[in-house]
Amino acid sequence: MNRPRRSVYAPQEIEPKWQKIWADRGVMKAHDDSPKPKFYDLVMYPYPSGDLHMGHARNYVMGDALARMKRMQGYEVLHPFGWDAFGLPAENAAMRHPGLHPEKYTLDNISESKRDLKMMGMLYDWDREVASCMPDYYRWTQWLFLLMLQRGLAYRAKAPVNWCPVDKTVLANEQVINGRCWRHPEVEVEKRDLEQWFLKITDYADRLLDDLATLDGWPQKVRVMQTNWIGRSRGAEVDFPIDGLQGESVRIYTTRPDTLFGATFMVLAPEHPLVQRITTEKHRARVLEYVDKARKETEIERLSTEGEKTGVATGGFATNPVNGEKIPIWVADYVLMTYGTGAIMAVPAHDERDFEFARRYDLPIREVIAAAGRAQGPLREAYVGPGVMVNSDGYDGLDSAVAFEKICDDLEKRGVGKRAVKYRLRDWLISRQRYWGAPIPIVYCPTHGIVPVPSEQLPVMLPREYRPLAEQPDWYRTTCPVGGEEARRETDTMDTFIDSSWYFLRYASPHDNHEPFDPELANHWMAVDQYTGGVEHAILHLLYSRFFTKVLHDAGMLEVEEPFKRLFNQGMVKRFGQVMAKSAGNGVSIAQLSAEQGADAGRVYEMFIGPPEEDVEWTEAGLNGVVKFLQRVWRLVLEPKSIDISEGPAVAVNDAVLRRRVAQTIGRITEHYDELRFNTAVAFLMELANTMQDYLQGGGTRDGSWDDAVRTLVKLLNPLAPHMCEEMWQRLGEHGLLADASWPVFDPAAATEPKVTLVVQVAGKVRDKLEVDTGLSEDEALKLALAREKVRAALNGRGPSKVVYVRDRLINLVP
RNA sequence: GUCGGCGUGGCGGAAUGGAAGACGCGCCAGCCUUAGGAGCUGGUGCCCGAAAGGGCGUGGAGGUUCAAAUCCUCUCGCCGACACCA
């Protein structure tokens, strides 16, 4: 039999077709002068590693789907893309393949990844593409460094720094994890004293912390992590005069000035400058040995001794300013030179670490805060809570919180101490001894010292040859911009996190060659309305970007003080139990997916696979389920007559039910897309398709309600499966691109179930039926509650009742 | 250790305090096919029962409420971040 050929869903044909049309028409160009409300939809720009696969795609599908919906809703959407293109992997590749320049490696990867993104149907405004390794980008990265310098936020200092022996570079504090390099967990980080550039992020610690409270569109988790990272504490600095050193004292920092009377000894960090002078002859040998050992120990060895606190007495003593008591001074490596003043008063009764140390070295423990309800007697562990002051002279009997303030007042009056705030946050070390980064635009002149390269001479271009800058005299030999003397360029480059701290601003005016960004345009597009990316950037990138934004605000270049209004961290895609990665060999290739099931199927599947913030497992079976769904939609929309209706419907769906389902779906989908809850959104689309099929099988009349359902389904599915929907839209005879079509409007009244029937059963027998109008959807719960009261009243206390309420489509199931 | 988060079918997971298990995968039965790893229909939390029906069910124990997966207290177990920050 020769039946007319059915149209078959063939993604391999329609996907390239529509990708070309979108590109030709510039569908996702963002217009600066549009009268429409703006929506800045940003995905974290990636490092172009050259192995883009479906594991990366999840983030981009979310961003793209949101951009497409917002566009249909009438927003002028800025949805840009770029590349975090400086960095070590390119250099590593160049070292593995002699002759391969990091730039070539990077640019090749970019063009390859770009092709894959287009193949996935991502609509970016490619005219705004940025790559941080291009001179017209890093020119402005350098400019921003000079701005920092000008504002007193960049400084050079000799400091013990973290040195990764594999990457042969200094690492930021944030890049050291448990004493190991973040990129090479197999090696320990070494300590070296080097002259390095720092950014004074600590100047902004308070604002970075306090403004977290305004970021209610951020995950709580990230806000907590940043809060802890900044680690603000309030306390006091107190001077303890040193015995035998006239006029000199040890300054300590404590968060518990209320426990001053419980200080029974002091501890200095091994690196503390006073250690040498305090130590008595008798103790000198042992102290030197201890300090020497601590110096040599790497971070990791120090950590491994956790629980085994060690230290030595110096033989020196200091006087506690509140009670004149002389207490011994010890040296121990559990006190860090990098926090507070590098010296503490030890209060073993009320600090766990001091308690442990006192136990080990048999030092006295004196209780000065009485815990409510605790019986008298020796402490078994440090009591760190609040309580009533004891053994504290004139403060006895006070609440410890009150005594805290009073003691601080008294210390300040006597000039022996003062309130102080400390942070765990350190300044940001940005120097990197690497080639593939933005050169720090500084010249060292024998006469004028540290001289910034004048901004009109930017960019300081990277030399062509791939070799450490410090080994390229032709490059680093220069003349002083001030006096013309022979001078030397800074040969370090900047941490790539600097590049990524401002890229979202460059998108506003990516071709501006007068300034890093046009303040007017940046103010137009900022803040980012939705920022999506991995949780691994919860601290570093996000904190640095917030810092830059605040500095630029202070410089009068930006209105906003926070760059990202809403932040979302998507989960990772796994396969065979492991995160998809080239190295793990479990990545799903975009080209292959595209050629087989189609990009649309991959897009819908990654959204349906699980909650967007959770890690998910990619399976072929799951993907296949989505393919079936898309094929079913295709038939429902274009070939409804091909649906087998011989079996009849399971549940009767009439026009009214179909209309209501369509209206409900519009409401749910709009809300869930907006909140990036794509997994449930796909489920709603499937439900709509199921209802439509039931409608056909029930011999639906196919009046306007069917056509409306079809067009609504196509529009609602469009952000997730854009190629297929665009094709269906055209075949339905609609004119114009679906990408330009308007988003369906939610009508709450049309979505409301007409009524609820309450069937009252008592002891299994139906006693009563009540019809309750639930007309106002926002108040359904309340109405039901009222209905329940009505039922209970009707029963008039006749024993245990069971109340069942059913919606109209299931009414016939209840006798 | 501290701080966050999470415990729901065979699996991934749904449920503004209001029918627990939406949607999908898998599985079972049937239909259609030369065949199917295709398509269609129905079923599918657990226990008892041929069925009707009944009982039990969101890690565990209490509590609040007409009503709890959801709120509160305690407890057990996982996951993540930080980890000597005075």
Q: Which of A473, A483, A418, A478 is nearest to A447 (CA)?
A: A483
- Stretch A179-203: mean pLDDT, rounded? 83
CA of A152, C1' of B6: distance in angstroms: 45
Q: What is the pLDDT of residue A806?
A: 36
Q: Per residue in A65-80, pLDDT tens? A: 999 999 999 999 999 9
Measuring from the CA of residue A344 to each C1' atom, give the nucleotide at the shortest distance.
B86
Helix extents (H) in A259-334: 275-278, 281-296, 299-304
**Which residue is the nearest neighbor of B82, CA to C1'?**
A228
| DSSP one-letter string for A193-260 | EEEEEEE-GGGGHHHHHHGGGG-TBS-HHHHHHHHHHH--EEEEEEEEEBTTSTT-EEEEEES-GGGG
- Stretch A614-618: mean pLDDT, rounded? 91
Tell me the CB-side half-sphere exposure of residue A160, using CA atoms within 13 A: 11
Q: Which of A79, A95, A83 is nearest to A50 (CA)?
A: A83
* Percentage, residues of chain A above pLDDT 70: 88
CA of A151, C1' of B60: distance in angstroms: 59
Q: Per residue in A12-59, pLDDT tens? A: 999 999 999 999 999 999 999 999 999 999 999 999 988 899 999 999
Q: What is the pLDDT of residue A715?
A: 97
Q: Which of A709, A713, A715 is nearest to A659 (CA)?
A: A709
Strand B footprint nucleotides (protein C-beta < 7 Å)? 3-5, 12-19, 22-26, 38-43, 53-54, 66-67, 81-86
CA of A375, C1' of B64: distance in angstroms: 35
For strand B, which residues in window 287-316 of chain A come within 7 Å by CB?
A: 302-303, 305-306, 309
Measuring from the CA of residue A756 to each C1' atom, give the nucleotide at the shortest distance.
B19
Measuring from the CA of residue A332 to each C1' atom, give the nucleotide at the shortest distance.
B84
**Which residue is the nearest neighbor of B81, CA to C1'?**
A225
Describe chain A by its helix, strand, coil percentages, rounded to 5: 45, 20, 40
Q: What is the pLDDT of residue A776?
A: 28
Q: CA A681 from chain center: how many Å? A: 24
**Which residue is the nearest neighbor of B22, CA to C1'?**
A683
Contact A194, A158 (CB under 8 A): yes
Q: pLDDT tier at A190 (50, 70, 90 boundaries)?
A: confident
For strand B, which residues in window 373-432 of chain A come within 7 Å by CB?
A: 422, 424
Residue-averaged pLDDT of chain A:
86
Q: pLDDT tier at A130 (50, 70, 90 boundaries)?
A: very high
**Which residue is the nearest neighbor of B13, CA to C1'?**
A610
Residue A228 contacts strand B, CB under 7 A: yes
Residue A317 contacts strand B, CB under 7 A: no
Q: pLDDT tier at A6 (50, 70, 90 boundaries)?
A: low
CA of A621, C1' of B26: distance in angstroms: 9
Which residue is associated with the tokens 């507070």? Answer: A340
* Percentage, residues of chain A above pLDDT 90: 66
Residue A235 contacts strand B, CB under 7 A: yes
How far is residue A511 from each of residues A80, A305, A347, A448, A469, measured CA to CA in Å? 14, 54, 60, 35, 28
Q: Which of A247, A243, A305 is nearest to A278 (CA)?
A: A243
**Which residue is the nearest neighbor of B67, CA to C1'?**
A785
Q: Per residue in A761-777, pLDDT tens? A: 444 444 444 444 443 22
Buried b (16+ CB within 10 A) or exposed e, A151-174: eebbebeebebbbbeebebbbbbb
- Provide the 10 A C-beta neighbour count for residue A571: 17
CA of A213, C1' of B5: distance in angstroms: 20
Contact A492, A486 (CB under 8 A): no
For strand B, which residues in window 603-622 of chain A come within 7 Å by CB?
A: 608-611, 614, 616-617, 619, 621-622
Q: Per residue in A276-296, pLDDT tens? A: 999 999 999 999 999 988 877
Measuring from the CA of residue A626 to each C1' atom, give the nucleotide at the shortest distance.
B24
| DSSP-assigned letter for residue A533 | E
For strand B, which residues in window 148-177 of chain A come within 7 Å by CB?
A: 177
Residue A339 contacts strand B, CB under 7 A: yes
Q: Is the pLDDT of residue A387 over 80?
A: yes
CA of A624, C1' of B19: distance in angstroms: 32
CA of A365, C1' of B73: distance in angstroms: 35
Which residue is associated with the tokens 């079913």? Answer: A632
Of A814 and A349, more confident:
A349
CA of A680, C1' of B22: distance in angstroms: 9
Measuring from the CA of residue A613 to each C1' atom, give the nucleotide at the shortest distance.
B5
Helix extents (H) in A698-721: 704-717
Q: Report d(CA A755, CA A752) in Å as an integer.
A: 9
Q: What is the pLDDT of residue A563?
A: 97
SS3 A293: helix
Q: CA A51 from chain center: how many Å? A: 22
For residues A546, A548, A552, A553, the Cα torsion angle rounded to the nearest 10 degrees is 20
Out of A140-154, A278-292, A369-383, A669-683, least confident range: A369-383
CA of A814, C1' of B16: distance in angstroms: 27
Q: Per residue in A506-548, pLDDT tens? A: 999 999 999 999 999 999 999 999 999 988 888 899 999 999 9
Residue A231 contacts strand B, CB under 7 A: yes
Measuring from the CA of residue A253 to each C1' atom, give the nucleotide at the shortest distance.
B86
Residue A670 contacts strand B, CB under 7 A: no
- Stretch A609-625: mean pLDDT, rounded? 91
CA of A764, C1' of B52: distance in angstroms: 13
Measuring from the CA of residue A306 to each C1' atom, give the nucleotide at the shortest distance.
B84
List all residues 6 or more positions away from A511 whose beta carbon is below 8 Å from its beta carbon. Answer: A136
Supply A659's token pair.
Answer: 């209309």
CA of A387, C1' of B69: distance in angstroms: 40
Q: Which of A274, A422, A419, A271 is nearest to A339 (CA)?
A: A422
Q: Is the pLDDT of residue A793 over 60?
A: no
Contact A668, A686 (CB under 8 A): no
Q: pLDDT tier at A644 (50, 70, 90 boundaries)?
A: low
For residues A378, A382, A388, A389, the Cα torsion angle rounded to the nearest 10 degrees is 80
How far is residue A724 from each of residues A301, A494, A604, measured CA to CA in Å? 58, 45, 11
CA of A797, C1' of B11: distance in angstroms: 46
Q: Report d(CA A350, CA A354) in Å as an integer.
A: 8
SS3 A591: helix
Q: Which of A38, A61, A123 is nearest to A532 (CA)?
A: A61
Q: Report d(CA A168, CA A589) in Å as an integer.
A: 34
Q: pLDDT tier at A180 (50, 70, 90 boundaries)?
A: confident
Q: Which of A323, A343, A340 is nearest to A274 (CA)?
A: A343
CA of A548, C1' of B16: distance in angstroms: 39
Q: CA A305 from chain center: how many Å? A: 32
